[in-house]
């Protein structure tokens, strides 16, 4: 006896659909209420579709009109200021120093790391602290210890970073907190010529740490009395205050060349191999980067 052929899914769907069509035709011809219901539903659906089409056409027309206005509006390109040379920046600093004893962002970014430490130390001295620099180098941990007048035990410590290329991240801030815990120092200041990363700022929140970026430190300096500002400015900018000092030999470094580009090297080479990297700036100036 031959096997019966299995029906496909399409055939099964047609067989299920045919009774529904037959029932719809029967109700349409023999039930006026059903005809009225179908006509009402069709009218409602058609009305909704027509309204939706009209709204889409209106929105499309408005969008096209706005795009036409944007295209028609003239675009003003930003003007780019010509880069200033290092000599011009230093001349402006010298002129500002002679006319008004105020600190500027240009001066702050031009200071080498040791002069910046001296500036920070002088600032805290003018605010009533006993401030003494440590013997550490450019990246040797705490740079300044603060104490109350007449007391020898430090009440606070200060870490300085004359960084104009890198943002100060969480790692040096965490190291400062570690030094404070090891030496039982209750308060720590971190002062930089640049800015702190968001991660560093969030880490310091709620801890005995005060973060002062270049802008806040500049405001603090200019808030000092005029006589104090003039005295600090005179001492910090005496002589060569832009060429970095070798943290090992305590002498001014010299610019050298290598296959990888220019860098600051110690005058005592090869006895001292301390170097600083350089980074080109838009104004033709060179800022030194942290020691390797």
**Matching residue, tokens 């009209």:** 54
Residue 259 φ/ψ, nearest 5 degrees: -65, -25
Candidates 96, 89, 109; CA nearest to 213 is 109
Joined together, the tokens standing for residue 156 give 């606070």
**H or E segment and range at residue 83:** none
Q: d(Cα 187, Cα 121) in Å, to the nearest integer? A: 16
Kindly report the average pLDDT of the chain as a whole number: 79
Single pTM value for the model:
0.61
- What are 94-139's pLDDT values in tens digits? 555 555 678 999 999 899 889 999 999 999 999 999 998 886 555 5
Percent share of the chain, pLDDT over 70:
74
Biggest alpha carbon–alpha carbon distance for the chain: 119
CATH number of 105-242: 3.40.1350.10
Residue ranges matching CATH 3.40.1350.10 in the chain: 105-242
């Amino acid at each position: 006896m031959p096997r019966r052929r299995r029906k496909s899914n399409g055939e099964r769907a047609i067989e299920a659909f045919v009774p529904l069509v037959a029932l719809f035709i029967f109700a349409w011809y023999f039930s006026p209420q059903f005809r009225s219901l179908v006509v009402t539903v069709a009218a409602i659906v058609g009305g909704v579709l027509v309204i939706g089409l009209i709204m889409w056409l209106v929105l499309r027309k408005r969008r096209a009109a706005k795009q036409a206005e944007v295209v028609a509006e003239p675009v003003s390109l930003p003007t780019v200021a010509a880069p200033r040379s290092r000599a011009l920046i230093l001349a402006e600093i010298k002129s500002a120093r002679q006319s008004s004893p105020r600190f500027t962002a240009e001066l702050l970014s031009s200071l080498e790391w040791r002069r910046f430490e001296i500036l920070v130390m002088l600032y805290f001295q003018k605010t009533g602290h006993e401030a003494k620099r440590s013997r550490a180098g450019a990246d040797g941990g705490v740079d300044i210890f603060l104490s109350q007048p007449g007391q020898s035990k430090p009440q606070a410590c200060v870490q300085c970073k004359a960084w104009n290329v890198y943002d100060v991240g969480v790692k040096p801030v965490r190291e400062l907190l570690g030094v404070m815990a090891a030496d039982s120092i209750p308060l720590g200041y971190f002062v930089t010529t640049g800015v702190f990363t968001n991660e560093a700022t969030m880490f310091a929140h709620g801890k005995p740490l005060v973060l002062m970026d270049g802008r806040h430190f500049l405001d603090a300096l200019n808030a000092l009395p005029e006589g104090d500002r003039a005295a600090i400015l005179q001492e910090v900018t005496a002589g060569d205050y832009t060429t970095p000092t070798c943290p090992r030999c305590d002498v001014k470094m010299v610019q050298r060349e290598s296959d990888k580009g220019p860098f600051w090297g110690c005058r005592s080479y090869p006895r001292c191999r301390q170097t600083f990297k350089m980074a080109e700036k838009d104004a033709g100036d060179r800022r030194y980067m942290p020691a390797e």
